[in-house]
Amino acid sequence: MADENGKMTFVKMFVTNDEKEELKERARNAHCSLSSYCRHMATFRKPGLDDTETVKAILAASGNIGKLTGMLKIYLRDTKQDIFKKDEIRKLILSLQADREFLKNTAKSMLRRG
């Protein structure tokens, strides 16, 4: 927990292995770290993304959008050439879909907290 100066301190908590795995899963579903999830639950606040996790998610999505943009530019320059492997394009599309879903959930989480 943060003190009045904003410094964090360590709190020890005992749980079974099954409880730990359940907490990890709940934290993943809430799009936050295990520590952040436990902190929010212990202080009766809604769990959600912290600023660091939000920035990482946005940067990951930005990188994938940049890749797609680059691929489209190359394709538009020379449409007759089969430059990209279908597998590579499929992976990028799946990654972009996951990024989109993550960002949508992030925005909803942030709106609920606000």
Segment 28-61, tens digit of pLDDT: 877 778 888 888 888 876 665 556 667 777 787 7
Q: Is residue 85 over pLDDT 60?
A: yes
* Region 94-112 average pLDDT: 75
pLDDT at 61: 79
Question: Minimum mean pLDDT among 35-39, 46-50, 94-98, 109-113: which range?
Answer: 46-50
pLDDT of 1 reads 45
Tell how many helices (H) and how many strands (E) occur in the chain. Answer: 4, 0
pTM more than 0.85: no
